[in-house]
Structure 1
Amino acid sequence: ANMEVYHVPFIHPDTVAPLVDAQRNVNTIYPNGHARMLAPAPQQTDREHVRAIDSPPNWQEIEGVGEFGKTCTQSYTMFPNWVSPLSNYFVPPLIFWPTSLNTTRIELVTMAMDWGDGPAPDLWTVPDGSKPNGRDMSPIILEDTQFGEMIQKSMESDGFKSVPLSYQEARIYSFHQTCDKMIGLNRVPEHLAVAQVIGENWVYPNDPRVAEMEQMEAAE
């Protein structure tokens, strides 16, 4: 969740898909396992007029948010367990706490501007009328988590060998590289280690794509 956008048309067709071009994103790898993803809106969409997760009715806009925050879907990883989309309305981190080798607890948090006397802004949960003062996860989170147990079971099967990751999942790969470095590369068993393929040339402020773009512009 919030680590790539190619799943959006299939998992979030009516909630997130209007906001995100699932074929385009840019990843920035920061030191120590932190990372950022930017994804633009679909080219045919005027993002300022989309009513979806990043423009909740009656929410106060955060002043001073820059162009990225107003025009792109942003998602940040703060190593080791914080993943958060950002917009000009809120900061709603998803915080993951491992509880065993194959289970995890998710904390759902919404941080927003002062909402006055009205109900507190809440992006990730909705009132549950079946129990007093109870809340349930929002449709977006339910969409993201609906296959979690099945995926975990498949990973525990004898037929499972590994997960190939695409460019869109560079933040996931960077996370595992950082985990191995923290443990110690000489301490991780070879069959469990990930190859350290994201080198320092990809860690901010370095980015080989900048030089490539400059060469393309010079050639034009």
Structure 2
Amino acid sequence: MSCRGLIQIRCENIGTLYFVNLDPEAMPLRDYLGPVARTLDDMSPDKLILVDSASIDVACNVKVMIDAFLEVYHLKSIHQNTVDKFLDHRGSAITLWPGGHSRMVTPFKREGWKDPGVKGLPMVEGVDPWYEGTNLSVMGYPNMVSPVSPHGIPILLFWPKTLDTMTVDVHWFGPDWGDGPRPDRWDMRIANFHAILEEDLQFADKIQTSVQSAGLRGFPLNYQERRIYHWHEELDRRIGAARIPDGLGVKQILEDFIDLPGQGPADARERGRSTAESVLS
């Protein structure tokens, strides 16, 4: 085994979520993810099991698809008959974290509203009920997005394939239901999620065509889309300014708006709760 054994690689976990790292010199997982890891901790990940996995090929550059999951500004145009019916994009509260990570908390349009899509699904024991009363999504840089929920966590991973193609993996984790097959209620929950996901994917190839157009002169972003800008700032930092051709980099402007470490999940929930309450009132 010492001569012909498999090469060792690093593997770390957050509960039952396992992460593989091919870089032996990389910092520990929790140190890297920081507040993203603490948000996942709030979902009691040690009590979750894998419910479902799917992979979807998309005809666009991976950055096009990542951008679409970092804001809720598009609800009025893309999700008119689904998500826009219950989420108030005007009240979206955004937090930028070091390292390209970020969080978005979006209140429901009606106070006390409950998602009918989770009816019949158990909650993870011990999760703060606040998470059931709002919509929260975290970005783990560079390619992990999770709209966490005490009823089940979808983990979306965005992988580049070629310059204009990519794959999104969707892994669902939920409370352990014990012996027997997966409860039928999960079939509806996953189907509803994929229907909404399909709405996000429907214009990906057309956006890619626009990106490659000689007429493109850049994209205007509003304050609700600053998670997108934050992501691209981090990408440029990791590439290195000296290696980016003129005209392709973004100006580093968001440093003063990044929340520094030391603010725990309770602080995060309180800021999100205050924002949601002010919008509802």
Question: Scaled by the length of structure 1, what TM-score is found?
Answer: 0.79
Q: Alignment partner for residue 193 of structure 1, among 224, 236, 249?
A: 249
Superposed displacement of residue 194, structure 1: 0.4
Unpaired stretches in structure 1, ≥5 consecutive residues: 127-135, 211-220
Q: Alignment partner for residue 218 of structure 2, among 147, 152, 162?
A: 162
Higher deviation after alignment, 145-154 or 185-194:
185-194
Q: Which amino acid aligns with 1:46?
A: G
C-alpha change, 1:65 and 1:18, in structure 2 (3 Å) is farther
Q: Describe how 1:1-220 pairs up with structure 2 within 5 A.
A: 1-42=68-109, 44-48=110-114, 50-52=115-117, 56-66=118-128, 68-116=130-178, 117-119=180-182, 121=186, 125-126=190-191, 138-199=194-255, 201-205=256-260
Rounded Cα–Cα distance in structure 1 between residues aligned with 2:249 and 2:189: 34
Richer in helix (by share): 2
Aligned length: 194
What secondary structure is seen at the aligned counterpart in 2 of 1:186? Answer: helix
Rounded Cα–Cα distance in structure 1 between residues aligned with 2:69 and 2:188: 14
Contact 2:98–2:260 at 8 Å: present in 1 too? no
1:129-181 CA-partner distances (Å, limit 9, x unpaired): xxxxxxx9821111110010011101111111211111111111111111111
Question: Scaled by the length of structure 2, what TM-score is found?
Answer: 0.63
Rounded Cα–Cα distance in structure 2 between residues aligned with 1:198 and 1:36: 15
Higher deviation after alignment, 137-146 or 7-16:
7-16
Q: Percent identity?
A: 34
C-alpha change, 1:85 and 1:122, in structure 2 (3 Å) is farther
Partner of 1:215: none
C-alpha change, 1:124 and 1:67, in structure 2 (3 Å) is closer
Unpaired stretches in structure 2, ≥5 consecutive residues: 1-67, 264-270, 272-281
Cα RMSD after superposing both structures: 2.5
Q: Which amino acid aligns with 2:96?
A: I
Rounded Cα–Cα distance in structure 2 between residues aligned with 1:106 and 1:84: 13
Contact 2:92–2:106 at 8 Å: present in 1 too? yes
Rounded Cα–Cα distance in structure 1 between residues aligned with 2:188 and 2:139: 18
C-alpha change, 1:196 and 1:8, in structure 2 (3 Å) is same
Rounded Cα–Cα distance in structure 1 between residues aligned with 2:202 and 2:229: 23
Contact 1:92–1:123 at 8 Å: present in 2 too? no
Superposed displacement of residue 190, structure 1: 2.3
Superposed displacement of residue 47, structure 1: 1.9
Rounded Cα–Cα distance in structure 1 between residues aligned with 2:136 and 2:235: 23
Rounded Cα–Cα distance in structure 2 between residues aligned with 1:90 and 1:125: 10
Contact 1:21–1:40 at 8 Å: present in 2 too? yes
Structure showing greater relative contact order (alpha-carbon pairs closer than 8 Å, 6 or more residues apart): 2
Superposed displacement of residue 31, structure 1: 0.9
What secondary structure is seen at the aligned counterpart in 1 of 2:147? Answer: strand
